[in-house]
Chains A and B, each alone.
Chain A
Amino acid sequence: MADNTDKNVKAPVLDVQDLGIDFGGLTAVNDLNMQVYDGEIVGLIGPNGAGKTTVFNLLTKVYKPTRGKIYFDGKDTAGKSVVDINKAGIARTFQNIRLFGNLTVLDNVKTGFHNVIPYSPITAILRLPKYFTSEKEINEKAMDLLKIMELDKYADYKASNLPYGAQRRLEIARALATNPKLLLLDEPAAGMNPQETAELMDMIRFVRDHFKIAVLLIEHDMKLVMGICERITVLNYGMMLAQGTPEEIQSNPEVIKAYLGD
C-alpha cells in the first residue's frame, strides 16, 4: 500500500477521464477512468469485443472520443492527430501485425526514427555531411534495438519473410524507435508458443527498465498478464468492470463471471 500512496503523489503519464465513444447507436467504450504511472506495466483485459483495441485507438487518436478527456504527460490531447500523439510520446503495436512488408527488418526499425533523428530530403538528395552523421546514428540505434529484441540476425531480411513471433517483436522494436514515454502493446503474445511468451515477458520487463517507460498492454494470455502486470484494468461491454493488482483481479467475482458466464 505504501507503494500506491507514493504513486498518487506523482502525476500519471496517462490519465483517462470519463472516456467514451459511440459508433452510431453503439456505445463501444463508456465512462472509462484509468491512470498509468511512470515505469509501470499495466494490463488491459476483457472478453472478446469488450472494447480493448478501441481504447488503444482512442489513446492514439485513430478515433476521436465522443466524451471524456485523455491527458498525456499532464497535457490534454484533444485535437491532436495520430502523428502528433506519436511525437508526444505514445507508441503502439497492432493486434493484426502491421509491418512494412517490402522493407528490410532493419529499415522497418529505421522508419521509427523519422521524428527522432530528422534531416531534410534536400540533405538526402545532396548527400550533405548531416546525412552521413544522422544515418550512422540511426543505423547504430536501430541495430541496438534489434539486438534487444533478438532480431539482429534477421536485419537484412524482408520483414514479411520473418516468422510470426519475430514479426511481433519487430513491431515492438519499431515502436520503441520512436522514443516513447508510453508503449501500447496490442496482444504481443498472440500466436506465440509458451517458451516464446516467457521470453517476451522478460523482454517487456527489460524494455521497461532499460528505456524507463510505462507499458500498457492488451493480452489474452493470463500467464503473461498475471506474470508481468503490476495493475490490471478489466473491460466488459466497453465499461470498466474492475481495477487492481493481479491478485485482486483473480479473486474478483465480477471478473470471473464476465469470463466464464453465470
Chain B
Amino acid sequence: MKEKSSVFSRFGDKKNRGRLMSFALVIIAYIAVEVLLKTGSLGSMFSSLLVPITCYVVAAIGLNLNVGISGELNLGQAGFMSVGAFCGICVSGILAGSITAGIPRLIIAIICGAVLAAVFGFLIGIPVLKLQGDYLAIVTLAFGQIIKSIFMNAYIGIDTEGLHFSFVESNFKLQPGGKMLLNGPMGATGTQKIANFTIGTVLVIVALLVVYNLMFSRSGRAIMAARDNRIAAESVGIPISRTKMLAFVTSAALAGAAGALYGLNYSTLVPNKFDFNTSILILVYVVLGGLGNMTGTIISTVVLILLPELLRSLQDYRMLIYAVVLILIMLVTNNEWLMTKWKSLFSGKAKGGA
C-alpha cells in the first residue's frame, strides 16, 4: 500500500485541505487588515483598495467556477459586474428614502444585483450552452460590449411621480427635487457610499461557500464530469446544457453581487469602468491563480491589484515591470523542478508532524 501512495497522487485529501485553507486565508487577511486599520498603519491608498479587492475576488471566484470547474471560457465577467453595479446603485437610490440604514440597503442591493445578473446569464445561456466549443466566449464578449453601450445610453431617475427611464436624453425630464440615478455616459453620480470592507469580506466567504458547496455535491460532480468527458457524462444521465447553465448562472450571480458592492463603494461610476479590459483582467486573476483553485485565485487577485499600486513610484516603467512580474510568476508556477521541490517541502513537514 505504501509504494502505491507514492506512485499515485492522493487526490481526495488535497481537495479538503484546499477548502479549509481558503477560508483560513480570508479570515486571517481580514483580521490582519482590521488590526492595521485600527492602529492606523495602513495608508489611505491601500484602505481605499480594500473594497475593490473583495469585489474582484468575488467576481474571480465566480469566473473560476465557470472557467476552471465548468471549463467554459467567459470573456464578459465585467459585463455581469456592470449589470450588478448599476442595478445595485438604482436599488439603493430607490430605497434611500425608505431604508435609511446603510447595511440592510446594501444587502438588498447586492441580492438584487446578483439576481439581475443571473437572469441575464440565464437568457444568454439558453441558446449558447446548447452548443459545443468556444461559442460562450464569443457571446459573452459581445454581451460585455452591448451591456456597456446600453448603460452608456440609459437614463434612469426617480422623483415624486416615481421611476423614470429613457434611452433618449431629450425625452428625459425629472420633476424638481428628483434624483438622477443613471446619467448616460456620465454613469451613476452622487451615489451614497454604503459599501465597507466587512461586508466585502462576508461576501467573499459567501462566494467561497456557494462555490465549494456546489463543487462538493451532486451538481458539482456533474459540472466536472461534463467538463472532463461530455459523451461519458451524457451516458450516465447528466444533462450537459442544464449542468453548464448552473455553473454559468452562479458565476454571473457572483459577478452581479460583486458589481453591486463595487458600485456602492464610489460616489461616481461610469459604464466604461466595466469594459473588455476588466473582463480580461479578471480572467488573468483566474488563470494565474490556477483553474479550479479558489485559494490561488484569491491570492493572485490581491497581488495583481496591489502590484501596480506598489510600483507607482516607478512611474512610466510601472506597467513594464508589471508585465515582467506576470511572466515571471507564470514561469515559476509552471516550473516542474520548483513545484516538486515545493511539494517535497510540504510532504516532508507532514511526515515529521505525524
Is there an interface contact between B10 and A157, defined as CB atoms closer than 8 Å? yes
Interface residues in B1-58 (C-beta closer than 8 Å to A): 1, 4, 7-13
Is there an interface contact between B8 and A111, defined as CB atoms closer than 8 Å? no
**B residues less than 8 Å from A125 (CB atoms):** 209-210, 213-214, 217
B239 on the interface (CB 8 Å rule)? Answer: yes
Number of interface residues of B (CB under 8 A): 34
Min CB distance A4 to B, Å, is 32
Contacts A102-B228, A111-B225 given: A155-B233 contact, CB under 8 Å?
no
Question: Within the assembled complex, what's the spacing in Å between the Cα atoms of A114 and B8?
Answer: 27
B246 on the interface (CB 8 Å rule)? Answer: yes
Is there an interface contact between A106 and B12, defined as CB atoms closer than 8 Å? yes
Question: Within the assembled complex, what's the spacing in Å between the Cα atoms of A161 and B233?
Answer: 19
Selected contact of A100 from candidates B10, B218, B232, CB within 8 Å: B232
Question: Within the assembled complex, what's the spacing in Å between the Cα atoms of A82 and B237?
Answer: 7
**A residues less than 8 Å from B205 (CB atoms):** none
Is there an interface contact between A158 and B8, defined as CB atoms closer than 8 Å? yes
A94 on the interface (CB 8 Å rule)? Answer: yes
Number of interface residues of A (CB under 8 A): 48
Contacts A131-B217, A161-B8 given: A83-B238 contact, CB under 8 Å?
yes
A147 on the interface (CB 8 Å rule)? Answer: no
A233 on the interface (CB 8 Å rule)? Answer: no
**A residues less than 8 Å from B13 (CB atoms):** 156
Min CB distance B32 to A, Å, is 29
Selected contact of B237 from candidates A62, A114, A138, A158, CB within 8 Å: A114
Contacts A125-B210, A156-B11 given: A82-B224 contact, CB under 8 Å?
no
Is there an interface contact between A101 and B239, defined as CB atoms closer than 8 Å? no
Contacts A82-B235, A94-B232, A175-B236 given: A107-B219 contact, CB under 8 Å?
no
Contacts A100-B225, A103-B225, A153-B1 given: A112-B236 contact, CB under 8 Å?
yes
Question: Within the assembled complex, what's the spacing in Å between the Cα atoms of A87 and B11?
Answer: 30
Q: 5 tightest CB-CB pairs across the interface, nearest first?
A: A124-B217, A156-B12, A98-B232, A86-B237, A100-B228
Binding site for B on A (CB under 8 A): 60, 62, 82-83, 86-87, 91-92, 94, 98-104, 106-107, 110-115, 117-119, 121, 124-127, 131, 134-135, 138, 153-158, 161-162, 174-175, 177-178
A-B CB contact pairs (8 Å), 10 listed: A83-B239, A91-B235, A99-B229, A101-B228, A111-B222, A114-B237, A117-B218, A121-B217, A134-B218, A178-B237
